[in-house]
Chain A
């Protein structure tokens, strides 16, 4: 390993050289890798494809194990939306996810602005404390968290679903990193015009945050839309049921009617798969950043 990195940059092979060294055997190997990747990709995606196709099959066809759809039907979807208040579940999830995302972005960017751009005594301490909460995992605190939320009278309420989900250090950390790289000049210009801290934050920092906000928003939205254990613990009211809870309850009720259960799952999964395909780049970027830096 030590030998390779001492090589002068001039030793880098030119394109034709590499192609020659790869040769015919290299092309065969490449074919093998593509084939391997294809097989693995099919294995990875198959369950979700199977879910979508099965949701269009009737009760007899859904259990025959065939890939084709003989007699496509929308009955399962109609059933799901008419037998249980599925629209309500979807609306609840949408409401909770959107509110958490918006409030979290707002609060986290405020905190991150203070930590990155303002000078005050205790800043390093606050940052270390905030950062250390990254180490706290939910199972470690879910019991006291439940008891606190109960004491605050937030069981069975939107507040209970929303408020505890807002606060996490990931967002603060990421936004702080971003704000550290904002050039001073932009802030100074506003300051010279007589803008106070809030004005600077509101009209300089927030508009600059758009790209990182979109990445974080996708992240927060997915996490909250897919959240399951916390809503299950703190809500029992039908009117508050979020979609993940809805489909798991649906299965308890219609266990063997796989065509209905799978259609319900598809409805719950489609928005996230859509978000995934549209915002894949942002998701990948924010994972890379939260993951490593």
Chain B
């Protein structure tokens, strides 16, 4: 990868793994060498990714206790899930959370990317500033915001009261805490997805913009007719990864900020799974819940693929 000015060149599509032209006499030695080179990573990936994937399905049909005994219980975990009101609550919270976080982060990051793609002074400074939150950990983000949003001494509340606005209890109100989490997630992630959008924007030929400007197209028309359609593959990618990342990352932030509270107001599904597994030791039940979550995410990915014809959207037809 180059460290030069034009990053995308480094990411230029490499040729597919076509067989490198070479004499065939070495076949056997080459095969042996290849497997030896692959061995450490393959073993690791199998043990720490492949096996867990298989086990995660199996565990959903089991009861596991703290001493490591595994007992097959059929569909019991799923039956329990259907009769568990907190499961439905966490599902509802997850939906509310996702319906807000995904479009907001998507819009904010795309907006930032389009904004700083313009020729203007200090572009580098702006890009660094928007991207900076990405460098700090979810724990730091959680602690700093908890400090800033605390009811009596938080700077946000102090500032709002100074201008005569009565702030809500950002993290203390069960009906409001989830929205606070949503806002923080957008703040935390928009810089990262901005970078991805910027990469997509750089792939759009400059000529298109110049030509549109010659035709007298306004900023909105340019966005609507050039940027948006040509950015479709990037948008698809962002939508897909953002959803998965939001499910995971939101959980981590919730763990630090509210621990699922107040009154389970932020107990989204992944948090509930975590709680069942690592607080109550209900590994089997938690596995059933997470199997359900994986199914939903899979369905969402497939729906996105179907709707966008694999990320090509409509302009790919011509």
Q: A140-B56, A144-B287 are in contact. Are A268 and B48 (CB under 8 A)?
A: no
**Known A117-B20, A146-B277, A276-B134; 17 more pairs at CB < 8 Å:** A1-B225, A1-B229, A4-B211, A34-B121, A111-B41, A116-B17, A118-B33, A136-B52, A142-B274, A144-B51, A176-B17, A181-B14, A197-B37, A269-B135, A280-B128, A288-B195, A289-B1
CB distance from B290 to the nearest CB of A (A): 6
Let me know if A169 and B45 touch, CB within 8 A.
yes
Which residues 232-260 of A have a CB within 8 angstroms of B? 233, 244, 247-248, 251, 258
User: Taking the complex as formed, is B212 at the interface, i.e. its CB lies under 8 A from any CB of chain A?
Assistant: yes
Chain A positions within 8 Å of B95 at CB level: none
Q: Which of A9-17, A71-79, A80-88 contacts B (4 or more CB under 8 A)?
A: A9-17
CB distance from A260 to the nearest CB of B (A): 11
Chain B positions within 8 Å of A196 at CB level: 33
User: Taking the complex as formed, is A113 at the interface, i.e. its CB lies under 8 A from any CB of chain B?
Assistant: yes
Let me know if A166 and B30 touch, CB within 8 A.
no
Let me know if A184 and B51 touch, CB within 8 A.
no
Partner of B56, one of A30, A144, A289: A144
Let me know if B155 and A150 touch, CB within 8 A.
no
CA distance A45 to B232 in the complex (A): 30
Let me know if A141 and B116 touch, CB within 8 A.
no
User: Taking the complex as formed, is B44 at the interface, i.e. its CB lies under 8 A from any CB of chain A?
Assistant: yes
Who on chain B is nearest to A150 by CB? B68
Which residues 130-152 of B have a CB within 8 angstroms of A? 130-148, 150, 152
- Residues 108-143 of B, flagged 1 when their CB comes within 8 A of A and 0 if not, give 000010011010111001101111111111111111
Chain B positions within 8 Å of A54 at CB level: 147
Let me know if A40 and B41 touch, CB within 8 A.
no
Query: Could you list 30 A-B pairs, sorted by A, with CB under 8 Å?
Result: A1-B229, A38-B126, A44-B130, A65-B159, A107-B41, A110-B41, A114-B35, A117-B20, A118-B30, A119-B20, A119-B22, A139-B251, A140-B294, A144-B52, A148-B51, A167-B47, A178-B1, A180-B15, A197-B33, A222-B135, A226-B137, A229-B255, A244-B137, A261-B147, A276-B135, A285-B2, A285-B10, A287-B192, A287-B199, A288-B196
Let me know if A143 and B287 touch, CB within 8 A.
yes
CA distance A241 to B161 in the complex (A): 40
CA distance A212 to B40 in the complex (A): 21
Partner of B237, one of A40, A111, A292: A292
Let me know if B225 and A137 touch, CB within 8 A.
no
